[in-house]
Amino acid sequence: GENVEQHPSTLSVQEGDSAVIKCTYSDSASNYFPWYKQELGKGPQLIIDIRSNVGEKKDQRIAVTLNKTAKHFSLHITETQPEDSAVYFCAASMGITGGGNKLTFGTGTQLKVEL
């Protein structure tokens, strides 16, 4: 089955700096890669996703890049703000064509944005 590794487990940045979180996946059949933000005591919130037919996607301060050859994808947050502090999870799926639509999650990154 799919295995997703995520690094780092914790990340501290100064407000205004950029933050980068990296994930690798094992199954080359995976073709959908979402990122979720989870605040304490709440459910995960989808913040951005990318499909395997594109290499990069951007939404304001958030961007995701995908390298299918190397089987890794990354989340980039620019101009970080204190409200960006949360746990971020990457995930991988084989989309509607296989894998039962299941998402395989990374282990999470605790991001702390310091003033």
Q: Which residue in the set 7, 58, 61, 102 belongs to the binding site for other proteins (CB under 8 A)?
A: 102
Q: Report the nearest approach of other proteins to the CB of residue 16 (Å).
A: 27
Q: Which stretch binds other proteins (CB under 8 A): 21-29, 65-73, 74-82, 89-97?
A: 89-97
- Measured from the CB atom, the residue of 7 and 102 that comes closer to other proteins is 102
* Cβ-based burial of 90 (10 A; exposed 0-12, middle 13-18, buried ≥19): buried
- Rule CB under 8 A: is residue 100 a binding residue for other proteins? yes
Encode 47-69: b = buried (16+ Cβ within 10 Å), e = exposed.
bbebebeeeeeeeeebbbbbeee
Q: CB-hemisphere CA count at 13 Å for 100?
A: 4
| Interface residue with other proteins, options 19, 23, 66, 108 (CB under 8 A) | 108
Query: Which of 57, 92, 89 shows the shortest CA–CA distance to 71?
Result: 92
Told to check if 67 binds other proteins by CB under 8 A, we report: no
- 68 vs 70: CA distance, rounded Å: 5
Q: Residue 107 interacts with other proteins (CB under 8 A)?
A: yes
Which positions lie near other proteins, rule CB under 8 A?
A: 32, 34, 36, 41-46, 49, 51, 89, 93, 95-96, 100-103, 105-108
